[in-house]
C-alpha cells in the first residue's frame, strides 16, 4: 500500500491538519521523512519526547517488558506499575498514585477526586472549580470545560457546571471569586498552550494561601511542565509551594502513552474501590518505559543540562532577535520556551512554523502570537546550534516577506 499525505484526507477524521511530509524514523533530536529528508526536532512531539527519539534505554525497557507481560487490567496489579508509583512518590510531595493513559485522563481523575473529596468532607455546596483563562487541561468534556479557551469547549452542548475562570497571575480576581464553596483551583504552574506564561512567585504563593484559607484543593496540571521540562523534576519544586494533587503525562512516557495523578494519602482515600478506573491505566509496558524515563531524567546530569541548554537557546534566540526585531520577549523556563511576536507580526506564529519546516526544523506554536520550543531535554548542543541557524533562515524569510 502506498501511504501518502493524501490518504490522510481520505481516511482520517478531519480534526487535524498535519504537515505535508510523513516522518518514518527518528533518532535523538533528528527525524527523517519518507524521502529521506532530515529534520531537527525542536518540538519533541509537543513536550513528550523528553529523551529524544528511540533512546536506547527506552527501547530496551520496552523490548524487555514486551517479551514478559503486556497487559493485565486493574483486576491485577503489576511490578512495573508498583515500582513506578514508588519512585514517583519518593521523588515528590505525593504518597499515592493513580495511573491513566493521557493528560486529559489524569486531569479528569484529579477533578473527580477533588469533587468527591469536597462532597465527602464538606458537603454538596462545595463544588466550585476555578481555573484560568487560556489554561489547557485536555479534551475530555470536563477537562476542556475547566480549560480556559471557549473555542475548544463550545459547540458540544451543555457543559459540566460549577466551573469558573479568572485571569492567570491576577490574584485579586481569584480572591474575589473564592469562598467556602470553592472545591478546587486548577492551574498549570507554567502555562503551555496558553502562550508559555510563568506565574509570578507572589501569585503562586498567593494561590496556595487562598486554597488553604478556603479549604480548597490546589491541583497542579504538570502535564506539560513536568518530568524535567523546567529544569526541576516538577515545576512546583521551583515555586516553593506544594499542590494537593498533581497530574503528569506527556514526557512521563517519553513517547509511550501514560498519565498519572499524584496526591496525598488523606485525599486519595476518597477514591474508594469502584469510584473511578481505566482499563489500560497502569499498563505494564507503559509503566516499564516511564520508570526508565524517570530514572534517567531525575538526575543532576539531565536536570542541570536543561538549565545549560536553556541558556544556549536564549542566547541564540536573542541574537536572532537583535537582527530581525520580531520578538517582544523570549519567555518560559528550562526547555519550554516561547518567542512572543511583536505587534508587527501579531497573529502570524504559524508562518514562522511553516518557514521553519521549509528549513527542515520542527517547532511548535502556542497560540497565534508565540513560537514555542519543547525539544528533548538531552538534545545535543550541536543540534541546538544547527537548529537555531535553520530557525534564523526561517525568521529571515518571514521578516523579509
Ligand atoms: C497536553 C496537555 C494536556 C492534555 O494531555 P493529553 O495527553 O493530550 O490528554 C493537559 N494539560 C496540559 C497542561 C497539557 O499541556
Kindly report, residue by residue over 111-121, the tens digit of the pLDDT.
Answer: 999 999 999 99
Strands 38-41 and 361-362, bridge-based pairing: parallel
N residues, the chain: 401
| pLDDT class of 42 with cuts at 50, 70, 90 | very high
Write down the pLDDT at residue 107: 98
CA of 87 to the centre of ligand 1 (A): 22
The number of distinct structural domains making up the chain is 2
Contacts of 401 (CB under 8 A, 6+ apart): none
Atom of ligand 1 nearest to the CA of 143: 10
Task: Tell me which residue has cell 497565534.
Answer: 368
Cα–Cα dist 315/309, whole Å: 10
CA of 322 to the centre of ligand 1 (A): 34
Domain boundary among 297, 331, 346: 297
170 and 288 within one domain: yes
pTM here is 0.98
111 and 235 within one domain: yes
**For 266-286, what is the mean pLDDT?**
98
65 and 50 within one domain: no
Provide the CATH number for the domain around residue 139: 3.40.640.10
90 and 70 within one domain: yes
Write down the pLDDT at residue 256: 98
Provide the CATH number for the domain around residue 330: 3.90.1150.10
Write down the pLDDT at residue 155: 97
Cα–Cα dist 133/164, whole Å: 9
Kindly report, residue by residue over 147-164, the tens digit of the pLDDT.
Answer: 999 999 999 999 999 999
Binding residue numbers = 103-104, 136, 139, 221-224, 278-279
CA of 325 to the centre of ligand 1 (A): 32
Cα–Cα dist 286/338, whole Å: 30
306 and 285 within one domain: no
| pLDDT class of 9 with cuts at 50, 70, 90 | very high
387 and 276 within one domain: no
Kindly report, residue by residue over 71-108, the tens digit of the pLDDT.
Answer: 999 999 999 999 999 999 999 999 999 999 999 999 99
Torsion of CA 116, 122, 123, 127, to 10 degrees: -60
**For 372-398, what is the mean pLDDT?**
98
230 and 155 within one domain: yes
CA of 89 to the centre of ligand 1 (A): 21
Cβ atoms of 286 and 101 within 8 Å: the answer is: yes
| Average per-residue pLDDT for the chain | 98
Full domain range(s) for residue 63: 57-297
Residue 151, H or E segment: helix 150-153
259 and 173 within one domain: yes
Atom of ligand 1 nearest to the CA of 188: 13
92 and 15 within one domain: no
Domain boundary among 297, 331, 361: 297
Q: Which residues' Cβ are closer than 6 Å to ligand 1?
A: 102-104, 107, 136-138, 188, 192-193, 221, 223-224, 249-250
Write down the pLDDT at residue 204: 98
**For 289-298, what is the mean pLDDT?**
98
200 and 325 within one domain: no
Atom of ligand 1 nearest to the CA of 104: 9
Write down the pLDDT at residue 286: 98
Amino acid at each position: 500500500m502506498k501511504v501518502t499525505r493524501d490518504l490522510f484526507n481520505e481516511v482520517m477524521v478531519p480534526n487535524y491538519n498535519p504537515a505535508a511530509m510523513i516522518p518514518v524514523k527518528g533518532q535523538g533530536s533528528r527525524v527523517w521523512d519518507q524521502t529521506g529528508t532530515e529534520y531537527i526536532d525542536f518540538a519533541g512531539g509537543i513536550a513528550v519526547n523528553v529523551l529524544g527519539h528511540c533512546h536506547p534505554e527506552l527501547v530496551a525497557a520496552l523490548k524487555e517488558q514486551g517479551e514478559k507481560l503486556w497487559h493485565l487490567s486493574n483486576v491485577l496489579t503489576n511490578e512495573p506499575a508498583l515500582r513506578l508509583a514508588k519512585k514517583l512518590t519518593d521523588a515528590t510531595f505525593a504518597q499515592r498514585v493513580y495511573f491513566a493513559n493521557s493528560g486529559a485522563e489524569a486531569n479528569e481523575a484529579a477533578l473527580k477526586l477533588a469533587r468527591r473529596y469536597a462532597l465527602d468532607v464538606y458537603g454538596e455546596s462545595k463544588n466550585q472549580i476555578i481555573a484560568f483563562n487560556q489554561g489547557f487541561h485536555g479534551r475530555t468534556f470536563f477537562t476542556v470545560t475547566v480549560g480556559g479557551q471557549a473555542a475548544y469547549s463550545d459547540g458540544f452542548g451543555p457543559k459540566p457546571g460549577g466551573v469558573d475562570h479568572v485571569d492567570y497571575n491576577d490574584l485579586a480576581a481569584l480572591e474575589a471569586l473564592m469562598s467556602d464553596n470553592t472545591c478546587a483551583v486548577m492551574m498549570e504552574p507554567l502555562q503551555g498552550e496558553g502562550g508559555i506564561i510563568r506565574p509570578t512567585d507572589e501569585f503562586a504563593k498567593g494561590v496556595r494561601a487562598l486554597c488553604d484559607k478556603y479549604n480548597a484543593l490546589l491541583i497542579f496540571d504538570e502535564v506539560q511542565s513536568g518530568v524535567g521540562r523546567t529544569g526541576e523534576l516538577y515545576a512546583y519544586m521551583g515555586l516553593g509551594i506544594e499542590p494537593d494533587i498533581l497530574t503528569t503525562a506527556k514526557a512521563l512516557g517519553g513517547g509511550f502513552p501514560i498519565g498519572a495523578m499524584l496526591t496525598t494519602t488523606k485525599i486519595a482515600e476518597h477514591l474508594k474501590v469502584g469510584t473511578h478506573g481505566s482499563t489500560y491505566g497502569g499498563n505494564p509496558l507503559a509503566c516499564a518505559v516511564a520508570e526508565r524515563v524517570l530514572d534517567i531524567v531525575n538526575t543532576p546530569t539531565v536536570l542541570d543540562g536543561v538549565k545549560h541548554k536553556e541558556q544556549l537557546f536564549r542566547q541564540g534566540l536573542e541574537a536572532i532577535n537583535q537582527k530581525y526585531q520580531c520578538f517582544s520577549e523570549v519567555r518560559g523556563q528550562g526547555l519550554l520556551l516561547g518567542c512572543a511576536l511583536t505587534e508587527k507580526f501579531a497573529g502570524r506564529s504559524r508562518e514562522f512554523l511553516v518557514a521553519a519546516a521549509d528549513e527542515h526544523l520542527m517547532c511548535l506554536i502556542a497560540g497565534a502570537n508565540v513560537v514555542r520550543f519543547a525539544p528533548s531535554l538531552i538534545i545535543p548542543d550541536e543540534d541546538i546550534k544547527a537548529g537555531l541557524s535553520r530557525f534564523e533562515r526561517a525568521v529571515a524569510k518571514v521578516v523579509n516577506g
